Structures are given as structure tokens and as C-alpha cells.
Amino acid sequence: MANKSYTMQEIARALDGELVGDGSLVIKRVVHPSDFKDAHDVALAVDKSLLPILLQMKVQAAIISRDILLEPGIVKASIIVERPRLAMSKLTNLFANAPSVAPGIHPTAIIEPSAKIGANVSIGAHSYISEAAIIGDNSILYPQIYVGPHASIGKNALLYPGVKIGASVVIGDRVIIHFNSSIGADGFSFVTPKLGSVEDAKASGSVGEDNTNLELLRIASLGNVIIGHDVEIGANSSIDRGTIAATTIGNGTKIDNQVQVGHNVQIGENCMLCGHVGVAGSVAMGNRVVLGGATGVADHVKIGDDVIAMGMSGIAGNIAPRSVIGGIPAIPRQTMIENHFYFGRIKKFMKKIELFSTRIDTLEQNMKKD
């Protein structure tokens, strides 16, 4: 894997940053200020708290935010950026190395004759491409990939080892799927011959003696999964196929590790689902929704555009667009904060109530004596 190098002038241009000092310095590594080693390192120090480390390590080249003031001569060259995280995105991609996969198809990979493999595709060892599957141009499949019958993967896709793509799944261009994720498994959908315990509990709030789950009958998943362009799916995540219609993931959506997306779910564009999120079946999610880590969404819920759910939220009902919510069950963030404030005062109030109750009892006893 070849190391990359750029001058500070080239980096400043790539970051749309303001160069101060010597733009001819050649940079080979991006480092935390505490990891600075030599003149070929550039320290990413966009947080004020890192300034003391920057000075202590005698860093020669740094990338800093606009609100950090460096005296002249502290570093030989610096690049001032307006949006640190945006600069980090550009910088890390500038130095990132392409995945090291041998071009072409490994001898141990099995490609069915009816599969269509695009130009410049890499397919790693022990992968299996089923009948009538399509792999788009310039896509990279690491070893041990399974692509099911009639599945389609777009151009410039990147699939890491252990990814499993089910039958008829459609994946767009420039999609990245990380280790051991499963796309297109059957949905978790079952029914009882007679009214079951869950249906009874939803209707009445209790479980009757006659409403037990003596048998669970499988509902087959006839739909597929359709994933748009520029989607990224983290490691060990699962997206289930639809029952009749497709489960869909919109363009630009990013899904973290260990996320479960149930059958028939519709997720809009540019959403972010953080780690351990669980989305139950038939949820309809708008565009640009953010679900914090370990958030759970009940089945058939509708979530509007631009909703932000704080970590560990429990979403049990429909959420209006542009809401900021949190808690279990999820409620507006401000209401949740107020509730926590009042919960913290309950003990104090209870002591006052007990004191008032004692005083009232004493007064009543005295009145009886009189």
C-alpha cells in the first residue's frame, strides 16, 4: 500500500484553507499532535484543548481552526480552516489508501456463467456470484462474498469480507458495505392460527388464557431490498427483505455497525442510523433523519423529515418533521429535560409532603383534644 505525500500548499488547496508559512513542506502523515514525529507530519489540531500539546511537541506543520491563534514562528506552516470536521473529511480522504485487492477474479472465486461482471472488477478469494447476478464496473469485492441470484450491484461499489447479498437485492453505485453485513435476509414475520398473545395484548392490555402462541406460522418474504447510491452500511448490520414490497434505503444514507432494519422499512435520503439502532417492520422514515445509538423504533411508525432522536430513544408513535426527541417513550427533547429536572426534585417534595402530613396529623389531634 503506497504512502501518499503532498505539500502544505496542495493540502491547503484541497481543504479550501488559508495557508500561513512555508507551503513547500512535504507531508506524508496526518497525526494527532501528541504523535508528532518529524517534519513530514502534519498535526490535526482543530480543538483549542490541543494547543498545549501542539506547543509541547514542537510541531512544525499543523491544521488549525479559525478560533485558534498561533503566534508567528510557533510552526513553520499552518492551514486555517473554517469547518474542522469538513476539513477532516477532506484531509482523511486525501491520505486514504485504496483497498488492497488484486485486480481481476481470484481463481478460487466461483462465477456462474449467467452472471454479468463489469469492467475492472475485483473479486476476492472464495467468493460466489450466483446466476444472473450483476456486478457493476470498477466494483471491489473482498474475499468470501456471497451475491445471490438476480442480485445487482452498481458501479464503484466496495464490499468487505463476509458480506452476504440475498436474491434480487438491488444495490446502487458507490455503495460501501462493511464486514459480515447481511442484505436481503427474510423478515421476522410470523402469525398464529388463532388470535395470539401479542394481538391480545395490543387490543386489551392483557393476555387471555385462550390467546397463547401454540404455533407460529411463517410469513414468507417475497419482496427484496433496494439500496440507493452512495449508501454506506457498517459491519454486522442486517437489512431484511420486504414481505411483498421492497425494503428501501435512500441515496446517501449512512448506517452504522450492528444496526437492524426490519422488513418493509422505507428509509429516505441522507439519513444517519447510529450503532445498535433497531428499526421494526414497516417503518416509514423521511429524509435526513438521525437516529442516535441504541434507538429503537416500533413497527409501522412514521418519522418525518429532519427528525433527530437522541441516543437510546424509544420511538413508539409517529414523529412530526424537524422534531428533536429523546427518552423512553420518546418525547420532545425540551419536555424530556424538564421531566428529568422534576424527577430529581421528587425526593425533596416527598419529604415536604411527609412533613406537612405530620403537621396536619398533629393539628387534627390537637383539635380533637380541644
Residues annotated catalytic, as ranges? 263
Where would I find the H helices in the chain?
Answer: 8-15, 51-56, 84-95, 197-204, 333-369
Peptide bond into 329 cis (omega under 30): yes
Residue that the C-alpha cell 507551503 belongs to: 23
Dihedrals φ, ψ of 203, to 5°? -80, -40
Q: CA–CA separation, 326 vs 331, rounded Å?
A: 6
All 3 cell numbers of residue 217? 406460522
Burial class (CB in 10 A: 0-12, 13-18, 19+), 363: exposed
| Contact criterion met (CB below 8 Å) for 83 and 101 | no
Residues 6 or more apart whose Cβ sits within 8 Å of residue 251: 172, 228, 229, 230, 231, 269, 270
Which of 135, 159, 314 has its CA nearest to residue 231?
159
Please report the sign of the dihedral spanned by the C-alpha atoms of residue 339, residue 332, residue 293, residue 248.
positive
Nearest to 142 by CA among 116, 180, 183, 169: 180
Angle, CA of 323, 270 and 245, to the nearest 5°: 95
Residue 331 has phi, psi (to 5 degrees) of: -135, 170
Q: Which amino acid would we find at residue 237?
A: S
Residue type at position 67: D
As a whole number of angstroms, the distance between CA 73 and CA 26 comes to: 18
